[in-house]
Structure formats: C-alpha cells, structure tokens
Amino acid sequence: MLCDTSPNSKDDGFLAFLRLIGSLYFKKHITEFLPEFITPGDLFKDVFHKCSKLTLKEKHCRWLDIIREKVQVRVSYEDQIPPSVTALKLHWLRSCLVSQMYDQATENTISLPSFCSYGYRINIEKNLEPQWEKESHMLSVQSHVNWLLRGCKCKKGCIKQNCRCKKANQKCGPGCSCTNCQNCSQYKDKCINIEVEEDKVLNFQHPSDSEEDESVSSDTE
C-alpha cells in the first residue's frame, strides 16, 4: 500500500507516507505541541475539524505545515526542518521505483517506468540525478541564501543601479555591509547568525558575482 502508485490508489500510499514522516517529527519535538496536542493523531483530528472544506490531501498538507512551523521554532538549521510536501512526494516516488525493482528481482527481464516520472531528472550534462525539490523553490532558496550572506558594500546609500541589491530589485538585507543605506529592509539591522561551510556559500554564488563586485566598487569610491 505504501508504494502503490496506481491511479486507483488515490494517493493512499503517499498520504500514509506523509503521516509517517510527520508523526516522527511530532514525537521528536513533542514539547512544542503540549499540552494542546499529546499525539500526532490529536493534531490530525483538530486539522480535520477546522479544515472540513479541504480535500483529504490538502488536510494532510496542512497538518504537515503546522508541524513544520512548530519544529522551525526549535531547530537551528534549515535541514532539521521536515521536508516540504513536494520534496517528500519526490522521495516517495523514488522509493516506489525501488520497490518495483525489488518486486521484479527474480524475473529474467524487468519492466520499469520512466525514471523522470519517479523523482529523477536529466541534468544539463545529460546525466540522471535525483530531483530534490521544485525548480522554482530551489531558485527561491538560493536567492534567499544570497540575500542573507552576500549583500552589497555600497557607501553612497544604495541609490544607484550598480548596487547589487538595487539591481536585483530587492531590499538590502542582513548580508549587506553598506552605509547610509536608502534601500533598507526591516531586517537590515537585525543580527542573524548563520553558520555555513565556506564551500556551500561559494556554491550559491552567481556567475556574475565578480562583475557585480566591480560595479559595487565604483559605488564605494
């Protein structure tokens, strides 16, 4: 049942997988839910009662979102937060593909569906690789990390288009070291401590970063 991807299953296997993962995170961080909810089932019933107009899948997603929000308060790093529904769906599909392989392990020949329909994709080098999230979400996360870690260094108020933040149509953020900023966000002066490995930061650099640094330097003169 857990790995049933047939049209007749109506996502039963995937929803069971969501309940399994959500329950594990609930129990690990149970103090965030007490005393209102003692078990994952208590929270589940509450969501079903308050969100009666949602579909069964939407109720499961809402239940997991609540757990994600609660866990986020306790943890220090993003990778400790429960994966999104999309990420879990892709992981579940890959598990289903492996299950299909094992089911045919004793056969002389096996028949498998397209890997790209089961949580994989073809990268620009024409190699098969796991797809961890929606492309749009990955780009959003990358942009947010850049905003947190790699800001501008302008000295003239960030009013010119050669300010990398202004050029990207976004407010200056925690990663900026600009002065007399006229492009401030509400988070500009708040201290946000983020520990990352240097190579991970470098992986999020845009190819045009070196060009932006040159343009920023002209603004700092």
Cα gap 159→221, rounded to integer Å: 14
Q: What pLDDT is attached to residue 204?
A: 35
- Residue 25: CB atoms within 10 A of its CB come to 20
Instruction: Return the closest-CA partner of residue 88 out of 147, 134, 50.
Output: 134
The pair of structure tokens assigned to 5 is: 């991807």
Tokens 């004793």, residue? 106
Q: What pLDDT is attached to residue 88?
A: 94
pLDDT tens across the length of the chain (221 residues): 667 767 667 689 999 999 999 999 999 999 999 999 999 999 999 999 999 999 999 999 999 999 998 998 887 777 788 888 999 999 999 999 999 899 998 999 989 889 999 999 998 899 999 988 877 766 776 777 777 777 888 988 888 888 888 888 888 888 888 888 888 865 444 433 333 333 333 333 443 443 344 344 444 44
Q: What pLDDT is attached to residue 34?
A: 93
Q: What pLDDT is attached to residue 185?
A: 65
The pair of structure tokens assigned to 212 is: 């932006």
**Helix/strand/coil for 9:** helix
Question: Do residues 169 and 144 lie in contact, with contact meaning Cβ atoms separated by under 8 Å?
Answer: no
The pair of structure tokens assigned to 146 is: 């850049």
Q: What pLDDT is attached to residue 10?
A: 65
Angle at 148 between CA 144 and CA 152, to 5 degrees: 110
